[in-house]
Amino acid sequence: MRTGLIVVGVVVALFGLLFTLQGVGAVGGSPMSNTTTWSVLGPIIALVGIVVAVVGWRRRP
């Protein structure tokens, strides 16, 4: 369970980073590119992923 939370948290954080980069236009080729919505939601999603990973890391086996 602990490892699963860490993995899920890291994956969600990476997706949040990708969404942020697409929102600001650093990664093109997607309908999400240069969209303010993803520029705002991306960091929030990344933060949620980091929180999940930290909770998984701090959880006792």
**pTM score, whole prediction:** 0.90
CA atoms of 3 and 41, how far apart (whole Å) = 26
φ, ψ dihedrals at 60, nearest 5° = -80, 140
φ, ψ dihedrals at 17, nearest 5° = -65, -45
User: How far apart, in Å, are the Cα atoms of 13 and each of 16, 25, 61?
Assistant: 5, 18, 23
Q: What is the pLDDT along the chain (61 residues), one digit of tens a residue?
A: 899 999 999 999 999 999 999 999 998 888 888 889 999 999 999 999 999 999 999 987 7
